Amino acid sequence: MTAENPAIAERTQIVVQWLLDPHRSVAAADLDLQDVWSAEDTLDRESAGLFEVEGHDIAMGSANVFLSARDPEATVARIVEILGRGLLRDGVRIGVAQTTTAARPARAYRPVYPPGLEKFEIG
């Protein structure tokens, strides 16, 4: 098999993110974690086989749910559909990972949702 075979095509990281108040209380931080688990469960259940939920992190200023997909465009369209049905919290942002160079595999993220989002970073 070659790398061009769709069965082993490279997967792309997609991040579903929402911003957090870095000065939130401990109780609010606990609720943030529950929101992350709920988002992971919803995304896993609603994936329609387009993506896999890979995990999450909560940084100082954001909660991030990491997905892995072979078709980033179809995955983003599916997530936006899930959002439209009110199954994820308000304020969700979506970024698609890009490798910056072949020699330096650090990731940069292309902002894709909401429309007009100019910058997407993992906090």
Q: What pLDDT, in 10s, does the model give residues 30-66?
A: 788 899 999 999 999 999 999 999 999 988 789 999 9
Host H or E run for residue 87: none
Rounded to two decimals, what is the model's pTM? Answer: 0.84
C-alpha triplet 46, 18, 44: angle, nearest 5°:
15
What is the band of 1 on the pLDDT scale with cuts at 50, 70, 90?
very low
CB 39 within 8 A of CB 45: no
CA dist., res. 68 & res. 20, Å (int): 23
Neighbours of 94 (CB within 10 A): 23
Structural domains of the chain, ranges and CATH numbers in brackets = 9-113 (3.30.70)
